[in-house]
Amino acid sequence: MEKSGKSRCALALFFLFIFSQAAADNGAIPVLTIDGADYVALSDLGRVDGLDSSFDIITQRGRFYRGTRTAVYQAGLSAALFSGTLKKYPRPVFRRAGDVLFPAAFAEDLLRDFFPEGAVTRKDRLIVFSAMERAPRRTPPADEAAPPEKAGAPEARDRIGFVIIDAGHGGKDPGAIGRKGLHEKKITLGVARRLESYLKSNLKGVSIVLTRRSDTFIELATRTKIANSHLREKENGVFISVHVNASISPRISGFETYYLSQNPSNDEARATAALENNVVVLEEKSHRKSYDDVEHMEAFMLTAQIQRESALLAECIQSGIDRSTSEFKSRGVRKADFFVLRGSLMPAALAEIGYITNPREAQHLTKAAYQEKVARGIGEGLVSFIKKYNRMIKN
């Protein structure tokens, strides 16, 4: 509780660079060649009349806006969200000498998306943009809603090329603590590594990445950032975070799988998310702002499609664990606001594989054989999700 007040205060001190000059309305934006790829600088895009932007140096996240249209990007990522639609590029956005550099294709998409009445053409080392030529701006300018044909347009999906396995907690953050000093972070790492070897032998042609392979501390937002940094043009991924639950009642046992939602399934789901989100108190103070209200909307700007896919992913994982284990009951698929799932630009789920506060379940969770069973269950769920997903994109 105390945290949110503090971070709102920190937010007021935040550096927010606003570039909103009313300069050259039409014109030519220079295309720079960097490492053999075409890039466009924010300082040049900033001169486009009617295109506003901001960049937050701490979260390294920036945004363009015009009327109701927004485009959100993050330095280091090859993907951006255009009014809730994910677009991917061959190279990442990056910062250099106080400027931000975008793949030229990003700049072209941005201008076409934000100025549907204009014309964008490439001429030598220039992007020639003429907003006025074809149709002069009509009297009510900026606030026009997006054209309706855009809303229903199907999103192109790419094949799953990688799986990110996130072992919950680590380092100075032990996670939930059970009897005899049993730490959640140790169980999650054990299951994550077993899941990695299951997937390596059962998912050919898909790379498997762990957010941590040892007892190290990683901030929540960094985990999603690691996952998003693997997104490439024509390649999608899946994010799975492994956790162990805790309850005041030692009688409660069983496993459940979550996907991100602002509206938790019930009070229990809300409490579980609060428990997992609690780790932000151990994070760098300056980083905590990304969890507060202002960033909230942006964090939830995941597309409706990614949310549907995440719900399907959670279903697959939950029934995978249910099939491969018989010791404890399935508590079903739930939704809640887990910070670690926020901002994921790919289907993402979080498995709470059992209760560390239930003595019998805690004992199982420490055993290699049971960890193996759970890992196999999650793995089978992932394989079945990827099959379903690839079938969907073929149609």
The verdict on 298 binding Zn ion (CB under 5 A) reads: no
CB 182, min distance to Zn ion, A: 13
Task: Copy the structure tokens of residue 238.
Answer: 């899946």
CB nearer Zn ion, residue 184 or residue 309: 184
- By three-state DSSP, how is residue 352 classified? strand
The neighbouring-strand residues paired with 334 are 258
Task: Copy the structure tokens of residue 212.
Answer: 């941590």
CB distance 337 to 273 below 8 Å: yes
The verdict on 175 binding Zn ion (CB under 5 A) reads: yes
CB nearer Zn ion, residue 69 or residue 185: 185
CB nearer Zn ion, residue 56 or residue 166: 166
Q: Indicate the residue whose CB is closest to Zn ion.
A: 243
Q: Of 383, 394, 391, 385, which Cα lies nearest the Cα of 204?
A: 383
SS3 content of the chain, % helix, strand, coil (to 5): 40, 25, 35
Torsion angle, alpha carbons of 291, 292, 298, 303, to 10: 60
CB 254, min distance to Zn ion, A: 16
CB 186, min distance to Zn ion, A: 12
Number of residues this chain uses to bind Zn ion (CB under 5 A): 4
Distance CA 210, CA 164 (A): 6
Helix or strand holding residue 306 (H, E): helix 304-324
CB 332, min distance to Zn ion, A: 18
The verdict on 276 binding Zn ion (CB under 5 A) reads: yes
- By three-state DSSP, how is residue 65 classified? strand
Task: Give the binding range for Zn ion (CB under 5 A) out of 28-36, 45-53, 172-180, 191-199.
Answer: 172-180
Q: Give the one residue of 168, 178, 264, 347 binding Zn ion; rule: CB under 5 A.
A: 168
CB 355, min distance to Zn ion, A: 11
Q: Of 100, 350, 312, which Cα lies nearest the Cα of 223?
A: 350
CB nearer Zn ion, residue 276 or residue 298: 276
CB 184, min distance to Zn ion, A: 5
Torsion angle, alpha carbons of 375, 381, 387, 391, to 10: -160
Task: Give the binding range for Zn ion (CB under 5 A) out of 46-54, 103-111, 275-283, 329-337.
Answer: 275-283
CB nearer Zn ion, residue 118 or residue 377: 377
The site map against Zn ion for 346-385 (x = CB under 5 A) is: ----------------------------------------
Question: Cα–Cα–Cα angle for 287, 288, 289, nearest 5°?
Answer: 95
Q: Please report, as a single letter, which amino acid is at residue 333.
A: V
CB 276, min distance to Zn ion, A: 5
Task: Give the binding range for Zn ion (CB under 5 A) out of 65-73, 170-178, 263-271, 296-304.
Answer: 170-178
CB nearer Zn ion, residue 276 or residue 380: 276
Q: Please report, as a single letter, which amino acid is at residue 261.
A: S
CB nearer Zn ion, residue 223 or residue 288: 223
CB 244, min distance to Zn ion, A: 6
- The set of residues, in sequence order, having a beta carbon less than 8 Å from that of 277 and lying 6+ positions away, is 220, 291, 337, 338, 339
CB nearer Zn ion, residue 175 or residue 264: 175
CB 263, min distance to Zn ion, A: 21
Q: Please report, as a single letter, which amino acid is at residue 277.
A: N
Helix or strand holding residue 95 (H, E): strand 94-96
Helix or strand holding residue 223 (H, E): helix 220-228
Contact footprint for Zn ion (CB under 5 A): 168, 175, 243, 276
